Amino acid sequence: MKSVYFKSGDAEWKYDLEDQEYEEIIKNILADGTDFDEMLDESLEIIRDISALADEELDEDDQIDQTISVAFIWHYFNTLPESDGRIDGDVVLIEDEDGTGVSVVAATEVIEEM
């Protein structure tokens, strides 16, 4: 199981992804020759946008975008070189107070039960 957490103000979300689904998504992303920097920006924007929606507002396309974004974010930060801020395991995104960006930390650093 892969997890990406998102915190914005007092609100928190947890997005889980089964390992098999994660592997399939990443295989397709790598096969497409995706620009990782561009996809990271898009994935972070998607997570921020979707977190603002109520569950009943999510349609199938939103859920697909969310799933792909979670897989990519987890993969991106777990495959960075250590010198560039690699994270081992689940990822926590904390939105800046002014909403202009996010901080990224390992879940093991901020979530006690892990």
pTM score, whole prediction: 0.89
By the 8 A CB rule, do 85 and 77 touch? yes
The amino acid at residue 41 is D
Digit-coded pLDDT (tens) for 5-33: 999 888 889 999 999 999 999 999 999 99
Whole-number Å distance between alpha carbons of 12 and 1: 19
pLDDT for residue 114: 40
CB atoms within 10 A of CB 99: 10
The number of folded domains in the chain is 1
In order along its 114 residues, the chain shows pLDDT tens digits of 999 999 988 888 999 999 999 999 999 999 999 899 999 999 999 998 888 888 888 899 999 999 999 999 999 999 999 999 899 999 999 988 887 788 999 999 987 654
Whole-number Å distance between alpha carbons of 29 and 11: 30
Domain span holding position 86: 2-110
pLDDT for residue 112: 65
By the 8 A CB rule, do 66 and 50 touch? yes
Long-range interactions of 49-53: CB distance < 8 A, separation 24+: 51/6, 51/8, 51/11, 51/13
